[in-house]
Structure 1
């Protein structure tokens, strides 16, 4: 039997504000449920734009079930335009690039998508309010966006899917009533992902959450979704099956442009999507974060500490690549005592961390499969610390300095640090907002 993955047409129940998404993988059936806040204006549910986005959301959420077997054939009765077909294949190919690479599966250019063609004219634009839906991830990036939007006087609402741990504490510190969505995965999919004969691995979570945010934008009236993805998210990890694979693909500029175009056309030009932090490096974002203190005790980028029960343990494990990278990029810009209070210890003075930091700086192995910045950026931060009175004697800084200079050279590292602090013009922020933010972020 030829294996296949089928995406059924989704359903939205106005009485419960629940969306149900059903899938078939060969002889297996799955159902996923999204629970939204109460929808007061149910007329939006019948609009062509909402129905279009609901269908696209069903397709993007399907990657979690598709990956159990990763068959070559995908089918659905959801009608797609040519651009939407290309978007779907991009999600199922490049969005799952890390998954394919780590499981040794060759799928690039081999997937078939059987879907009816949508040949309707441009959809009518829904009426949306001039305000922003801002996804909050609990880390430094979205909190810098909070600070920037606040200072330019832009109206925004925090948004999250299945909020927990640092997301909840960050939103509490923001002090604005959020929009939360509960996503319930089919438990059988989770069980099978641990069984022999089935695959498991990374999915493009930013793409998934962005489609859920798009549904909320129509349901509750927001004319733009503002992400907090930095420019280094576009850097890949390894080349596999003839393509660069990127752990952060759905945070990349290339994907941002593609999904923004899809959302714009699906809503008759009403809904915009862009990243407010795209001009910045991770180091530049870290420097902006240091301008305020109100999030020091609530934020975290450590994946190990996004707990279902909330903040019942340390926000930073201090052992993973994300902890190490965030500590590294803060160190050149933040007083040492403040950084040690945030993390609880000095991660650059523990010899056991040396190998992890070497990977981040490109001195050994590949870039970690984590949401970390560019290799040269990390190397430049280390070089800066090697000349910093507060950090140059720390064990890891001293250990890496000779190899950094040997591999990159002093001039290249100096130029790299300067480049990290120079804002890029390669972004899609609306010009008026970009000018306001640039005037503040100096």
Structure 2
């Protein structure tokens, strides 16, 4: 029997704020529920633009259920799609799940089929949206730098999150603006099966998922733009698999940003904008901007152990994972040592057990970790800076990697790489007027 993943048409009830997303995988049935805040605009909920975005959201949410068996056939018999929307959906199920395929050794690139009715209407009628900004908050340094940039350039915004917990809640409290939160309830049977033999599990493109949920909220509660906080480093992949580069952060990449921005623009008649405010910046540049304020030092965290389904009652930073190591590494050249040690609670660069992880980050061994970390050469350049830094050059890991770092890259290449990290890219999708104001402030 040919295995098939089927996406049924979703529904939304403005009175309850509940959106239901039914899926079928062979003979298994699932329903995911989004609970949105009260006060949705009923007329917006009845618009062709909202219907289109709701349908597209169902297709993107479906990756969590599809991956249980990762069949080659995807069906959406009640959801009409344009040619561009088909390409968008296939991209989510191919590149968005690239890490999942690589780590489960599943060849799917170029082999998936999507069966759905044709939608001849390439662009939906425009929906009226007020000039307001929805800003997803992840609890880490990046979105908090966006908070600072928007605040200082006079752009009012509403913090947004799906299933907020831990550092997201503490960060939003520190921001001080009323947030917009959505509860996403995954089907419990899907979660159970993901732990069973005979079913697959793995990474899904969470930024794509949360972006579509944000788009629903933008239409229902009146926001004309969704501002992401994805840096240029997110476009670098991890490994080659099945003839294609796979990227843990694919749905944070510039390529995906342009694709989803175009998809949402067509769905809303050009009314909804989507872009990343931090796209011109490297991770190191973002770290340097973060250091300009101590406002969020005690509340933020980029450690993924804070964002697992089961949550985390421990410290904000575990100090053991590649994400903790990378963030510590890029802060070190720009932040006073005592401040950085206060944030992390210990010196991760003076712990010999961390050497292997730091070597992977700098490309001195293994592969780039399957984590939201920056470019390999960027990490190497930060290490180079630390070898010449009075605060850090004697720390155990810095001393241990110095010779290999210089042998592999050479001083000139590392010097140029660090200079490039601190030079803003013009390759971004920020509206020109806002880009000019941000560039004037972020010097």
TM-score tier, shorter chain, comes to: over 0.9
Partner of 1:66: 66
1:357 aligns with 2:358: yes
TM-aligned CA deviation for residue 14 of structure 1:
1.9
Partner of 1:176: 177
Distance of 2:148 and 2:121 partners within structure 1: 41
Partner of 1:111: 112
The secondary structure found in structure 2 opposite 1:370 is coil
Instruction: Tell whether the 8 Å contact from 1:233 to 1:249 is kept in structure 2 after alignment.
Output: yes
| TM-score for both structures, normalised by structure 1 | 0.99
CA 264–411 in structure 1, closer or farther in 2 if over 3 Å, else same = same
The secondary structure found in structure 2 opposite 1:368 is coil
1:219 aligns with 2:212: no
Instruction: Tell whether the 8 Å contact from 1:166 to 1:311 is kept in structure 2 after alignment.
Output: no
Spell out the pairing of 1:56-135 with structure 2 (5 A cutoff). Answer: 56-76=56-76, 77-120=78-121, 122-135=123-136
5+ residue gaps in structure 1?
none
Distance of 1:122 and 1:133 partners within structure 2: 23
Distance of 1:194 and 1:310 partners within structure 2: 18
Instruction: Tell whether the 8 Å contact from 2:137 to 2:159 is kept in structure 1 after alignment.
Output: yes
Partner of 1:434: 435
Partner of 1:228: 229
TM-aligned CA deviation for residue 15 of structure 1:
1.9
The secondary structure found in structure 2 opposite 1:225 is strand
Distance of 2:14 and 2:295 partners within structure 1: 39
Partner of 2:211: 210
Distance of 1:437 and 1:209 partners within structure 2: 25
TM-aligned CA deviation for residue 309 of structure 1:
8.5
CA 67–40 in structure 1, closer or farther in 2 if over 3 Å, else same = closer
1:19 aligns with 2:19: yes
CA 66–315 in structure 1, closer or farther in 2 if over 3 Å, else same = same
TM-aligned CA deviation for residue 311 of structure 1:
7.4
1:244 aligns with 2:248: no
Distance of 1:280 and 1:122 partners within structure 2: 32
Give CA deviations for 1:41-99 in whole Å, capped at 9, x if unaligned: 21111100000000000000000000000000000120000000000000000000000
Distance of 2:279 and 2:308 partners within structure 1: 28
Give CA deviations for 1:220-261 in whole Å, capped at 9, x if unaligned: 000000000000000000000000000000000000000000
Partner of 1:48: 48
The secondary structure found in structure 2 opposite 1:317 is coil
Partner of 2:275: 274
Distance of 1:209 and 1:123 partners within structure 2: 22
Instruction: Tell whether the 8 Å contact from 1:238 to 1:366 is kept in structure 2 after alignment.
Output: yes
Most deviating of 307-316 and 145-154: 307-316
The secondary structure found in structure 2 opposite 1:406 is helix
Partner of 2:162: 161
TM-aligned CA deviation for residue 39 of structure 1:
2.8
Name the Cα RMSD after superposition: 1.0
TM-aligned CA deviation for residue 313 of structure 1:
2.5
Partner of 2:398: 397
TM-aligned CA deviation for residue 123 of structure 1:
1.4
TM-aligned CA deviation for residue 121 of structure 1:
5.6
5+ residue gaps in structure 2?
none
Instruction: Tell whether the 8 Å contact from 1:45 to 1:51 is kept in structure 2 after alignment.
Output: yes
Distance of 1:257 and 1:359 partners within structure 2: 30
Distance of 1:317 and 1:367 partners within structure 2: 20
Instruction: Tell whether the 8 Å contact from 1:164 to 1:309 is kept in structure 2 after alignment.
Output: no
